[in-house]
Chain A
Amino acid sequence: MAIAWDLFTPWHALAGGLLIGVATALFILGNGRIAGIAGIVASPLRAVLSRASLRPERTRLWFIAGLLAAPWVWRMFAPLPAFTIDVGALGLVVAGVFVGIGVRMANGCTSGHGVCGLSRLSLRSLVNVLAFMGAGFVTVFVLRHVV
């Protein structure tokens, strides 16, 4: 293990993290909802496909609208950071399906179990975080250093 000092941006990371924390705090105290992106997306999607009412989904849909507006607001003040992908279309499809099924099966992702769950000191969320972090470490290890 060697720390990549050329990539590491502790202050930006911490500042961005604090802002994510503020967003999470605002959503639970302001709207009474968990800022877990997987659930926020899956719930209205399910409602649309089962032809259920979208009324109970309004808060989530507005949150998504804010999230989608973020890069456009950012761009008014500064250029967007770099965006680099090192997998092809097939890899992206496989990864996307895995992420979609996985976050629904476990009922949460990096935000729901990661940020919110750990902030709630939930053991259930900690177990999920260890599972996805562990699987992520192993996957990148295999892809970069074994294959």
Chain B
Amino acid sequence: MRTILAVVSGLAFGLGLIASGMTNPARIKAFLDLLGHWDPSLAFVMAGAIAVGLPAFALARRRRTAWSGDTIEIPSSTTIDRRLIAGGVLFGIGWGIAGFCPGPALVAMSFGPSAAWIFGVAMLAGMVIHDRPWAPR
């Protein structure tokens, strides 16, 4: 049950990204080109996702256990600090340069263009550089 739910969630997420056109970096950059030839599509993707997400999270907040039997884990942090903003700015610069964020990058890696792999491997490296999993904690 747990496995099926997770696979279907991931699959639906990926199909949604493809259907929305957001796996194409050119579409992301067209959205970010606010003062140029602006394509508002990404805003519609966000609106559609949040329209379903709002009631889903409202419901999830009132439950403790998911259908799989796992505990529902909703982030509790409300901290607004320099890391939150600096991280967002760093991410935004990279997003603006390439037109990739993590989800579309993974989907694109799966269907293979080398550019997606160059970006994706660098992204994983960036995550590792930040997390330093080898460091003692």
Contacts and interface: CB of A to CB of B under 8 A. Distances in A.
21 contacts: A4-B30, A4-B37, A7-B30, A13-B43, A15-B19, A16-B18, A20-B12, A30-B9, A31-B5, A33-B73, A46-B131, A59-B68, A66-B13, A66-B14, A93-B119, A94-B122, A101-B87, A105-B83, A115-B53, A119-B53, A131-B84
A8 B68 contact: no
Interface string A11-32: 0111111111111111111111
Contact of A85 (B8, B98, B131): B98
B133 A50 contact: yes
Interface of A: 1-4, 7-10, 12-35, 37-38, 41-42, 45-47, 49-50, 58-60, 62-75, 80-87, 89, 91-107, 109-111, 113-124, 127-141, 143-145
Contacts of A129: 88
Interface in B19-68: 19-27, 29-30, 32-57, 59-61, 63, 65-68
Given A19-B15, A99-B123, A29 B66 contact: yes
A67 B14 contact: yes
A42 B108 CA distance: 18
B60 A106 contact: no
B122 A93 contact: yes
B73 to A, nearest CB: 6
Contacts of B27: 7
Interface of A is mostly: helix
Contact of B20 (A12, A46, A92, A133): A12
A17 B16 contact: yes
Interface of B is mostly: helix
Interface of B: 2-3, 5-27, 29-30, 32-57, 59-61, 63, 65-68, 70-75, 77-80, 83-103, 105-111, 113, 115-116, 118-131, 133-134
A62 to B, nearest CB: 4
B133 to A, nearest CB: 4
Lowest 7 A-B CB distances belong to which pairs?
A100-B126, A17-B48, A16-B20, A70-B14, A66-B10, A96-B122, A135-B92
Contact of B106 (A9, A19, A37, A97): A37
Nearest to A74: B18
A69 B95 CA distance: 24
A145 B45 contact: no
Nearest to A128: B88
